[in-house]
């Protein structure tokens, strides 16, 4: 099976348009920006000088390879073998920096001087402002006004790093609206500006490009598993899914190994039977958002439904086209995990292993409760980020646990 985009950026070989996801549904005015990227990204990111600098920054600036940790107590608890891929140990605290490092180097090669990005919880904004400081580029971050209020400490970090935060007051004043505003900025600044999208979403080539930058996760993991278990392949890989970039990264080098089960956790919020969740794959329908065709949370007449999850990184109303496709062909499965289940999993990991996970990552950990493993199975969980940013939410629930 070949799971790659075609020349127009679609996943899926079928000529039936209902079976394909991705593409670039862009307004005429964005044509030049996107064409420049589409025509150049592969040649640049596969070039020797790019690879050399990318690998060197991942090693000495980000701190890669991220360790693969055998979680002994957790393994005993679930009577199987559980490894954690420690993306939480990366500089800035999550996998997002893998992508922003790749894109800032690409922007440099394209001769860009100014960077724009959208952010919801502020994690991608911080990762973007970080690489802009590193590379001395102008940095503008679009953030919904609602999120600016809720995520004050990340706003402060972005400012200290030299980024300018523009509060977005349109729509629901959250991530979706910030993304619209960033796309609009890009239309008016096509020559000097690069737009760093934070996940495997948006028009072609972003889903494929961001997947490639995040694929370093599974590239490292194959070697680490050989070292630790004698085999490159685990039985299961578990990850959480917002837009889908950390899951895409840890799945990538296993997509064709059909004996490896790929399972992702969606933000189930207060339950998929309520209207407050972010379970795009379980509950979404095909549509177009941010210039890409994928599954979306929408009403009967195509209005986007505002998603909800306890974890800010999971509440995007869409999902990357790769995941819509993997779901369609049943190569990966997508299970929703509620806020409450994620909280329980976060406290369990903290107590058993001394690791406080990001709330997003706790959704992946909660899958352990929903699946059955054998004593000889090898299960790898992508620990996409650390929990410092979520302490306030955790503290509110300490008494409950």
Ligand X SMILES: *Cc1c(COP(=O)(O)O)cnc(C)c1O
Active site residues: 96, 118, 384
Would you call 139 exposed, middle or buried from its count of C-beta atoms within 10 A (0-12, 13-18, 19+)? Answer: buried
Rounded to 5 degrees, what are φ and ψ at 197? -75, 145
Residue 243 C-beta: closest distance to ligand X, Å: 4
Contacts with ligand X, 83-122, as mask; x by CB under 6 A = -----------x-x--------------------------
215 vs 246, beta carbon nearer ligand X: 246
The rounded distance, in Å, linking the Cα atoms of 368 and 6 is 35
Pick the binder of ligand X from 57, 209, 240, 367 (CB under 6 A).
Answer: 240
Residue 42 C-beta: closest distance to ligand X, Å: 21
By the rule CB under 6 A, 244 interacts with ligand X: yes
Residues of this chain, 161-220, that bind ligand X according to CB under 6 A: 199
Structure tokens given for 49: 């000088």
Single out the segment in contact with ligand X by CB under 6 A; choices: 217-225, 244-252, 278-286, 330-338: 244-252
Contacts with ligand X, 297-336, as mask; x by CB under 6 A = ----------------xx----------------------
Residue 205: cis peptide before it, omega within 30 degrees of 0: yes
By the rule CB under 6 A, 385 interacts with ligand X: yes
By the rule CB under 6 A, 360 interacts with ligand X: yes
Instruction: List C-alpha distances in Å: 256 to 218, 237, 239, 243, 335.
Output: 13, 13, 18, 22, 21
By the rule CB under 6 A, 245 interacts with ligand X: yes
Helix or strand (DSSP H, E) at 140: strand 138-144
By the rule CB under 6 A, 241 interacts with ligand X: yes
Spacing of C-alpha 187 from chain mean position: 24
Question: Count of CB atoms within 10 A of residue 193's CB?
Answer: 21
Residue 290 C-beta: closest distance to ligand X, Å: 13
Please check whether residue 257 is in contact with residue 233, taking contact to mean a CB–CB distance below 8 angstroms. Answer: yes
What one-character-per-residue DSSP string does 334-374 give?
EEEEEHHHHHHHHHHHHHHHS--B-HHHHHHHHGGGTS---
Single out the segment in contact with ligand X by CB under 6 A; choices: 50-58, 144-152, 223-231, 242-250: 242-250
The rounded distance, in Å, linking the Cα atoms of 34 and 31 is 5
Residue 202 C-beta: closest distance to ligand X, Å: 12
Pick the binder of ligand X from 80, 154, 224, 384 (CB under 6 A).
Answer: 384
107 vs 281, beta carbon nearer ligand X: 281
By the rule CB under 6 A, 154 interacts with ligand X: no
Single out the segment in contact with ligand X by CB under 6 A; choices: 17-25, 164-172, 279-287, 356-364: 356-364
> Measuring CA to CA, which residue among 215, 118, 236 is closest to residue 166?
118
Strand 378-383 vs strand 138-144: parallel, antiparallel, or unpaired? Answer: unpaired
Contact set with ligand X (CB under 6 A):
94, 96, 123, 199, 240-246, 313-314, 358, 360-361, 384-385
């Amino acid at each position: 099976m070949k799971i790659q985009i075609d020349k127009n950026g679609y996943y899926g070989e079928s000529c039936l348009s209902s079976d394909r996801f991705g593409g670039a549904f862009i307004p005429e005015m964005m044509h030049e920006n996107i064409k420049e990227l589409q025509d150049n990204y592969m040649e640049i990111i596969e070039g020797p000088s790019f690879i050399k600098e990318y690998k060197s920054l991942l090693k000495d600036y980000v701190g890669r390879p991220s360790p693969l940790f055998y979680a002994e107590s957790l393994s005993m608890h679930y009577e199987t073998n559980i490894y954690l891929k420690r993306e939480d140990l990366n500089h800035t605290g999550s996998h997002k920096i893998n992508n922003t490092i790749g894109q800032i180097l690409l922007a440099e090669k394209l001769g860009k001087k100014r960077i724009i990005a959208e952010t919801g919880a502020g994690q991608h904004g911080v990762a973007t402002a970080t690489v802009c400081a590193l590379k001395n580029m102008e940095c503008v971050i679009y953030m919904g006004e609602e999120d600016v209020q809720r995520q004050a400490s990340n706003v402060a970090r972005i400012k200290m790093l030299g980024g300018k935060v523009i509060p977005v007051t349109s729509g629901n004043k959250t991530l979706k609206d910030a993304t619209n505003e960033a796309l609009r900025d890009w239309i008016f600044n096509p020559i000097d500006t690069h737009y760093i999208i934070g996940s495997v979403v948006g028009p072609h080539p972003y889903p494929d490009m961001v997947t490639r930058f995040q694929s370093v996760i599974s590239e490292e993991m194959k070697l680490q598993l050989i070292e630790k278990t004698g085999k490159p392949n685990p039985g299961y890989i578990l990850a959480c899914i917002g837009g889908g970039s950390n899951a895409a990264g840890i799945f990538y080098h296993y997509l064709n190994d059909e004996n490896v089960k790929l399972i992702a956790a969606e933000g189930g919020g207060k339950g998929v039977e309520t209207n407050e969740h972010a379970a795009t794959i379980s509950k979404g329908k095909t549509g177009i958002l941010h210039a890409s065709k994928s599954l979306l949370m929408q009403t009967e007449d195509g209005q986007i439904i505002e998603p909800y999850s306890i974890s800010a990184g999971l509440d995007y109303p869409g999902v990357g086209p790769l995941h819509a496709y993997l779901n369609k062909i049943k190569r990966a499965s997508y299970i929703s995990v509620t806020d409450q289940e994620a909280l329980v999993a976060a406290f369990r990991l903290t107590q058993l292993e001394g690791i406080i996970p990001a709330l997003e990552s706790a959704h992946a950990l909660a899958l352990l409760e929903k699946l059955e493993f054998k004593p000889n199975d090898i299960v790898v969980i992508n620990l996409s980020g650390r929990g410092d940013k979520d302490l306030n939410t955790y503290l509110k629930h300490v008494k409950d646990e």
